Amino acid sequence: AAAAGAVGAVIYNNTDGPVNGTLGGPENARIPTGGVTAAAGAQLAALGGQNVTLELRTIQEARTSYNVIAETKTGRKDNVVMLGSHLDSVTDGPGINDNGTGSAALLETALQLGSTPKANNAVRFGFWSAEEFGLVGSTYYVDQLSFEQQLDIALYLNFDMIGSPNAGYFAYDGDNSDGVGAGAGPYGSAQIEKTFVDFMQAAKGVALEGSDFTGRSDYGEFIAVGIPAGGLFTGAEVLKTPAQAAKWGGTAGVAYDPCYHQPCDNLGNVDRVALERNSDGVAWALGVYATSTESING
C-alpha cells in the first residue's frame, strides 16, 4: 500500500517484492525494466518525481512438467532405497552445479547399476522437475503415493549441488548436532549421515560437516511424511570459513558457489574433484542400502 500522500503503482514484472522510493531517485535503479508493460511504463512516467510505493508482481504461466522415475527390477519392492536429484534450473542460469552435478552423478550411478542388479532392496531414482519453483515435482510425487507406498520407501537420499566450485563438504545433519542450527528444526537420519561421513573419511580423506535440513531441497516432503533422509551437498551462497578453507582447500570468505542461481553457473562452475568424490559417495550409499537398511530401521 502507498504511504499517506503518495501514489501507488503496480508493476507487473518477473521479479517479486515491494520497492519503495521516489521515481527518478536512486531507488529507481532497483526497478527492473525488462518486461514492464507499456501501460505500467506510462503509469510510471506520470508518477515521475513523486514518492510512490511500487509493488512488483510475478507474471506466472501454467506449465506441465514431468518427474522421471526409474526402478530396478530386482530387490524388495516393500523396502525401496530411493535417490533423487532435481533436473530443472532457475530461469536466470543454466544450472550446471545446481543441479547438473547431482543429476549427472545419479544418472551415471543408475547406468552403472543397470536394471537387474543382485540387490536385496529395490533401488528407485527420482529425477525431479520444478524444484526451483518450490519443490513442486518431489512434493507431488510423495503426496500422490498411498500411505502404503510411502511406507515401502525405506529411505531417501538427496543430491542437490555436489560440485560447487569453492566446495564445502557436507552431509545433511541427520543427528541434528553439527549443522549451523544444531539442536533445532526438522531432521533426517543420523545413520545415513554417518554412512556418508565414514565413507568420505575412509575413502577420500575428507572430513564432512553437517548441513542443516533447511527445507530448501527435495528431501522436504519425504521428511514431512516420516521417511528417513540424507544426502550430500557442497554449498551454495554461504561463504567458506577460514577453518573450512584450511581443512578442505579453496578460498575463505568466498561463497561455496559464487555463481549460485546466476548465468555463470555453466560448465566452468564445477569442482570436478568434489564432484568425483561425491559421486563415489552416491554409489557407495546406494550399495550399502541396496544390500541392507537394517542400520536405519532395524
Catalog residues that contact ligand PHE under the rule CB under 6 A: 98, 131-132, 160-161, 214, 216-217, 233, 236
User: How far is CA 268 from each of CA 35, 87, 128, 158, 162, rounded to the nearest angstrom?
Assistant: 30, 18, 24, 23, 14
Cβ-based nearer residue to ligand PHE, 132 or 280: 132
Whether residue 209 lies in the annotated active site? no
Q: Residue 17 and residue 27: Cα distance in Å, rounded? A: 13
CB of 104 vs ligand PHE, minimal distance in Å: 15
Q: How far is the CB of 118 from ligand PHE (least distance, A)?
A: 33
Positions in 179-218 near Zn ion (CB under 5 A): 193, 210
Host H or E run for residue 238: none
Among the listed residues 55, 71, 108, 131, the single catalytic one is 131
Give all strands of the β-sheet with 51-58 in edge-to-edge order. Answer: 7-13, 51-58, 17-22
Report the partner that residue 216 touches, choosing among Zn ion, ligand PHE, none (CB closer than 5 to 8 A by kind).
ligand PHE
- Is the backbone of residue 216 left (phi > 0), alpha (psi -120 to 50) or beta? alpha
Q: Which is nearer to ligand PHE, 192 or 236 (CB)?
A: 236
> Cβ closer to Zn ion: 75 or 93?
93
Q: Nearest approach, Cβ of 131 to ligand PHE (angstroms)?
A: 6
How many CB atoms are closer than 10 A to CB 202? 10
User: Does 160 participate in binding Zn ion (rule CB under 5 A)?
Assistant: yes
Q: Say whether residue 98 binds Zn ion (CB under 5 A).
A: yes
Write the DSSP assignment of 263-280 as a string of letters: TT-STTS--HHHHHHHHH
* Residue 177 vs 241, nearer CB to Zn ion: 177
CA-CA distance, 40 to 12, in Å (whole number)?
A: 7
Between 72 and 166, CB nearer to ligand PHE? 166
**Minimal distance, residue 217 CB to ligand PHE, in Å:** 4
| Gap between the Cα atoms of 175 and 178, Å rounded | 8
**Taking the complex as a whole, how short is the minimal distance between the CB of residue 135 and ligand PHE, in angstroms?**
8
**Where would I find the H helices in 177-265?**
190-204, 220-224, 242-248
Q: Quick check: 173 binds Zn ion (CB under 5 A)?
A: yes
Using H for helix, E for strand and C for coil, what is the string for 107-152? HHHHHHHCCCCCCCEEEEEEEECCHHHCCHHHHHHHHHCCHHHHHC
88 binds Zn ion per the rule CB under 5 A? no
Q: List interacting residues with Zn ion (CB under 5 A).
A: 98-99, 160, 173, 175, 177-178, 193, 210
Residue numbers annotated as active site: 131
